């Protein structure tokens, strides 16, 4: 923007306000779209498109005629395929727009009652541990893990101890896989996660424990695992498995690790922590 344009805008405040409003609206729309695709396959596809854009700009600047011709053909195919590839995200955006929630500044993560959710999970874990029923519950945080849970079944249900217990009940269709909690909901069940190949893990650990460690190695998710043999409860975080953790300690860790996703509850938790001290 040159000095003449700046001078023209300064002399016409109405035009200046219109341009500022235009920029703000476009920026907010881009922000909401990025939130919409966060944690999905579309996020990785968008990164690929951005990299391809950069490569196209460099090849055009360098004057690579053959590369530019090839990239033009690729872009033609991409623009045709984009509506198909992003179909789930586009449908979700239109649904949110119809419900009026697309422009809502409050995200689900911030309005959900995290303490109630944690208590429901703890109650389910205690019941499963008591009867030595194997379980694997993954609490998604910032890093998207949808690529590791595509085999699972969409649930999209409210978090409740009764539902978690019924999912992991033996001889049911979903009891062998993992349950993934995301954005304050039970997102998927029966998901299959990557197994850890850490040679330092105990040889006695089974597939469920190795899957808990594996998902915590590739993401910042928290993985709660209940042993089918002993009923002991473990927690995997950042590739480290803590075994034989009691309910009180597990609840404290979950509240501490998840509170950043629910900032409206921080003050309440801090007051309660002070009272306990």
Find the length of the chain: 277
Domain boundaries along the sequence of the chain: 3-99, 109-276
Cα-based angle 144, 224, 188 (whole degrees, multiple of 5): 50
Model pTM greater than 0.85?
A: no
| Strand, coil or helix: 18 | helix
For residues 42 and 86, is the Cβ–Cβ distance under 8 A?
yes
Whole-angstrom distance, CA of residue 230 vs CA of residue 88: 41
**Average confidence score pLDDT of the chain:** 79
pLDDT at 29 over 50: yes
Q: How far is CA 224 from the centre of its chain?
A: 17
For the chain, percent helix, then strand, then coil, each to nearest 5? 60, 15, 30
Q: What percent of the chain has pLDDT over 90?
A: 30
| Superfamily (CATH) of domain 109-276 | DNA integrity scanning protein, DisA, N-terminal domain (3.40.1700.10)
φ/ψ of residue 245, rounded to 5: -100, 135
pLDDT at 38: 64
Please determine, for residue 107, whether its predicted confidence score (pLDDT) is greater than 60. no
Residue 23: pLDDT band with limits 50, 70, 90: confident
Q: Closest Cα to residue 125, out of 56, 215, 212, 238?
A: 212
Q: d(Cα 205, Cα 183) in Å, to the nearest integer? A: 30
Q: Which two tokens stand for residue 194?
A: 């990557």
Partner residues linked to 101 by β-bridges: none
Tens digit of pLDDT for each residue in 108-153?
A: 444 347 888 999 999 999 999 999 999 999 999 877 787 776 778 8
User: Each residue of 76-103: pLDDT tens digit?
Assistant: 877 777 777 666 666 666 655 665 555 5
Element (H, E) at 233: strand 233-237
pLDDT (tens digit, 9 = 90+) per residue, 151-185? 788 898 999 999 999 999 998 888 889 999 988 88
> Contact, 179 vs 191, CB < 8 A?
yes
Residue 179 in 3-state DSSP? strand
The pLDDT score that the predictor gives to residue 132 is 94
């Amino acid at each position: 923007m040159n000095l003449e344009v700046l001078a023209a805008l300064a002399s016409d405040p109405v035009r200046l306000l219109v341009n500022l409003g235009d920029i703000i609206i476009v920026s907010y729309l881009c922000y909401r779209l990025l939130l919409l695709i966060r944690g999905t396959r579309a996020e990785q596809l968008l990164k690929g498109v951005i990299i391809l854009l950069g490569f196209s700009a460099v090849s055009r600047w360098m004057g690579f005629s053959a590369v530019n011709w090839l990239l033009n053909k690729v872009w033609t195919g991409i623009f045709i395929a984009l509506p198909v590839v992003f179909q789930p995200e586009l449908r979700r955006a239109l649904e949110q727009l119809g419900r009026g929630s697309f422009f809502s500044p409050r995200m689900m993560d911030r309005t959900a009652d995290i303490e109630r959710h944690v208590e429901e999970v703890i109650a389910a874990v205690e019941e499963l541990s008591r009867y030595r029923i194997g379980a694997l519950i993954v609490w998604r945080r910032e890093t998207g893990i949808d690529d590791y849970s595509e085999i699972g079944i969409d649930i999209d249900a409210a978090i409740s101890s009764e539902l978690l217990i019924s999912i992991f009940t033996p001889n049911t269709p979903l009891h062998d896989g993992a349950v993934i909690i995301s954005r304050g909901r039970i997102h998927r069940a029966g998901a299959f996660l990557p197994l850890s190949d850490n040679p330092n893990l105990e040889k006695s650990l089974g597939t469920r424990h190795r899957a808990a460690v594996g998902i915590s190695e590739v993401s910042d998710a928290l993985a709660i695992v209940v042993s089918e043999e002993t009923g002991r409860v473990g927690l995997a975080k950042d590739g480290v498995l803590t075994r034989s953790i009691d309910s009180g300690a597990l609840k404290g860790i979950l509240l501490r690790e998840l509170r950043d996703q629910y900032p409206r509850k921080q003050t309440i938790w801090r007051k309660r922590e002070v009272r306990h001290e």
